[in-house]
Amino acid sequence: MSDPTDYGSVEGLSAVLDESILRLTLSRAEKRNALDDSMMSGLIDALDHAGRDESVRAVVLAGEGDHFCAGADIVARNTEAGPRPRAGSIQRRLPSQAHRLVPLVTTVQVPIVCAAHGWVAGIGFQLALAADFTVAADDARFWEPFVQRGFTPDSGATWLLPRLVGPARARELLLLGRELSGSEAAEWGLVHRSVPPAEVAAEADALARTLASGPTVALGLTKWLLHASAGSTLGDHLRDEAFALELSSRSEDFREGLRAFREKRPPDFTGR
């Protein structure tokens, strides 16, 4: 019989449902957890499923071994045997891979906590930016390697970075290739917090458990509102807020929140 906790693990990616927390662990430590096509597809499938699975109330994204993620495995892709891909292969491939994965992290209506240590580069950097919360090791190494490799950024780097740190610092990271430590990334507002390396996993887990015990419907809709606000006028966004409030006020957790307020006790949310 298949393991009911296995959420569709593939080679290089462990996907395990631990009670109400989906744990996605990049497990290609010998390659610093660089993402290949199979891992990217596995992440997309797991997050897409999690968005419809009412048993999932939070997600933890982490890396096995000494690093979180050193980026996409472009070396393997560009040294594979066989005929050279025809022109336009990157433009055709990205919308179903990296350019589907990063938006999914920002929009899936369950909170995502990223535990970042060691190298956090390229798409690994973008995943840490796109997550709702990232706990980084003080000595983690955040780096956008694109200009040093002679090609342009992808996976949302030029959209995420200016919004988080402004255009001047975004240029420093993307045009000059400046590397940041985890503590610097926290100071710049790129991540939620930085902690000593030995504490990253525990801090991320505690944060995920706090989120998993919260009002899941309201958390998911609030996440949607925060993301949607980037492209909305105030009038359009206020209509979105009214829509989200209508939905969240129909949840069981809303009624529990009111009872807890009246009874002067902490709420016991069930995610319904």
Tens-digit pLDDT profile for residues 80-129: 556 776 766 676 776 668 889 999 999 999 999 999 999 999 999 999 99
**Residues linked to residue 15 through DSSP beta bridges, in sequence order:** 24
Low-confidence ranges of the chain (pLDDT < 50): 1
Running DSSP on this structure, what letter comes out for residue 194? E
What is the rounded CA–CA span in Å between residue 22 and residue 24? 6
Task: Give the tokens for residue 74.
Answer: 């472009």
Per-residue CA distances from 74 to 14, 31, 127, 198 (Å)? 21, 11, 17, 30
DSSP annotation of 23: E
Contact (CB, 8 A) for 157 and 146: yes
Predicted local distance difference test score (pLDDT) of residue 73: 76
Distances (CA, A) of 226 to 58, 64, 67, 237, 251: 17, 30, 29, 10, 20
pLDDT at 88: 63
**pLDDT of the residue at 1:** 36
Strands (E), 51-154: 58-63, 112-116, 119-121, 133-137, 141-143
With b for 16 or more beta-carbon neighbours within 10 A and e for fewer, the 178-200 pattern comes to: eebbbbbbbebebbbebbebeeb
* CA-wise closest residue to 96 among 161, 26, 48, 168: 48
State in words which class domain 13-212 has.
Answer: alpha beta
Domain spans of the chain, in order of start: 13-212, 216-263
The residue type of 51 is: G
Distance CA 183, CA 173 (A): 16
Is 120 exposed, middle or buried, given 0-12, 13-18 or 19+ CB atoms closer than 10 A? Answer: buried
